[in-house]
Amino acid sequence: MIFAVLKRNPLALMLALVLHAALVFFLVVGVDWKEKPKAPPANANVVQATVIDQKQLQGELDKLDKQKQQKKAAAVAAKREEERKLAELKKRREAEKKRLAELETKRKQREKAEAKKRAEEKKRAEAEKKRIAELERKKAALKKKQEAEKKRLAELEKKRKAEEKARQEAEKKAKAEAARKKAEAEKKAKAEAARKKAEAAKKAKAEAAARAKAEAAAREAELQAQFEAEQDASERSRMIALIADKVQRNWLQPPGTATAGLTCKVQVRLGASGSVLLVNVVQSSGNSAFDRSVEAAVRKADPLPMPESPRLQAEFRNLVFLFDPDE
């Protein structure tokens, strides 16, 4: 520490060396300057000259002592200043160490939060993948069911035709047998009745076929509508989740709302490509800063995802969804 002080104050070092050299010089020379006793002249003031030399020497010694004290005081002051600077440096180092520790803690917390968010996003993606796979399975099952129903209806129609043919053949045989037993006069009437009956049977057959076809078409339309409704519900949920996720990624949480548990319902008017045309909070959270931050996040997320289904595009042109940053 002393060397550091001397390195920063070379002038003080040089002054100290000069003062020490002068002190040694005066001590040595003061002894050598003492004159040997001589017979004083008649009118010489020997005593007075000797006193003057001693007083001068004492003055020089006092001056050197004073310089030595000043040097000592300067060294003490320099030491205290060095100790103060070291203490201040130590304090700054401890404060910097504390600040770095806090930054490290915040970094770890941020990394933990980001890891949690990635895990949740992965979980949601896996759930969505599983749900889509389930929908595909249901779609395949529905198609298989439709094909089985179509085959069953074809078999029923074939059976009905066979039964109708058998019935007609039986009736024909019965009529032929009756015609042989009855008179020629009744033959014409029976022939007319047979013709009318055949026409009625043909009409009934056509009506039955039309009814069967209409029922099959109605069942197929119902199944198709059910499938499209399930597809729309799946697509709607997925798109709303994508929109909410994109808005939340662009959301900057305003100060003072960290633990408030705030939510708000937002109405968004979108263009055909998902461009944000209008944003309006239709159900406030009760915190105007939070509401404004959500509106800003929606505008910043422009454009928003749009569904591919033409049935849903018109619905998503005027979308209302709940923004909950905790979900």
pLDDT of residue 198: 82
pLDDT at 46 over 50: no
Report the percentage of the chain scoring pLDDT > 70.
84
Residues paired with 267 in a beta bridge? 280, 320
Q: Map tokens 């996720």 to a residue.
A: 245
Q: How far apart are CA 12 and CA 14, in angstroms?
A: 6
Domain limits of the chain?
Answer: 2-33+48-105
Mean pLDDT of 17-36: 65
Q: What angle do CA 170, 176, 182 make, to 5 degrees?
A: 135
Q: Which residue has the higher pLDDT, 93 or 46?
A: 93
Rounded distance between C-alpha atoms, residue 242 and residue 318, angstroms: 16
Strand partners, 281: 266
Range of 99-113, 178-192, 253-267 with top mean pLDDT: 99-113
121-130, 201-210, 316-325 — which is least confidently predicted?
Answer: 201-210
**Above 60 in pLDDT, residue 33?**
no
Of 194, 137, 199, 153, the C-alpha closest to 171 is 194
Q: Say what the pTM is.
A: 0.34
Q: Which residues are bridge partners to 268 per DSSP? A: 279, 319
Proportion of the chain above pLDDT 90, given as a percent:
39
d(CA 96, CA 72): 35
Q: pLDDT band for 4, please (50, 70, 90 cuts).
A: low
* The one-letter amino acid at 233: A
pLDDT at residue 5, rounded to an integer: 57
pLDDT confidence of residue 166: 83
List the beta bridge partners of residue 265.
283, 322
